[in-house]
Amino acid sequence: MTQRIALYPGTFDPITYGHIDVIRRAAELFPRVIVLVARNSSKRPMFTDEERAAMIREVFRRHRRVEVDSFNGLLVEYARRRKATVIIRGLRAVSDFEYEFQMALTNRKLAPTIDTVFLVPHERYTYLNSTIVREVARLGGDVSGFVPPGVRRRLLAKAGL
Ligand code: COA
């Protein structure tokens, strides 16, 4: 297990304290964690791929186990290319399960040697998602309890505040 590379894919539009909690947990378990800004074809992100990756890099700039990248193709292709054998996903509530189960089994069908590992973020983050954070920022609410200061600044700039 010690040499395993884990991949944590997501839209990260933007990264929140909930994602950060999952990444920290993953970095305790795996020597290398690649946080991958990937494309969910049903979403139209507020931030570009580069902006989303830059925000994550800023948070983990001193964490040598964590690397940040972005990719627009099939997740398992990226995983194979980087020799990642584990896909990390966070499970916040039962409502996440069906979608996550479907993705995990699809990825397994496409790449049988890659396993999905589910991590449970701290319960203080179970209600969080990026849509809520964007909405609160857009309407002028305080997002400092949801995202790090650098992300908050970028959210305010996008919202024109
Ligand atoms: N804390 C807070 N929020 C969390 C969270 C956590 N720990 N974990 C997930 N979320 C939120 C996200 O912010 C996001 O919120 P939003 O919907 O408001 O934006 C939501 O939960 C789920 O997002 P995410 O984890 O980013 O998943 P996703 O569904 O957006 O992304 C991909 C899915 C990108 C991983 C998937 O589409 C993919 O693999 N794409 C690549 C192409 C591919 O291979 N497709 C086939 C996959 S089977």
Q: Is the minimum distance from the CB of 70 to ligand 1 under 6 angstroms?
A: no
**Residue bearing the CA closest to ligand 1, atom 19:** 130
Calculate mean pLDDT across residues 71-90: 97
So where are the chain's domains? 5-127
pLDDT of 28: 97
Q: What is residue 64's predicted lDDT score, i.e. its pLDDT?
A: 95
Could you confirm whether 4 is annotated as catalytic?
no
Tell the CATH topology of 5-127.
Answer: Rossmann fold (3.40.50)
- Is the distance from the beta carbon of residue 102 to the nearest atom of ligand 1 less than 6 Å? no
Q: pLDDT over 70 for what percent of the chain?
A: 99
Residues 10-49: tens digit of each pLDDT: 999 999 999 999 999 999 999 999 999 999 999 999 999 9
In ligand 1, the atom with minimum distance to the C-alpha of 21 is: 7
pLDDT at residue 160, rounded to an integer: 84
Distance (angstroms) between ligand 1 centre and the Cα of 73 equals 15
Token match 């790449």: residue? 111
Q: Determine which residue's CA is closest to atom 37 belonging to ligand 1.
A: 40
CA of 160 to the centre of ligand 1 (A): 26
pLDDT digits (tens, 9 = 90+) for 125-143: 999 999 999 999 999 999 9
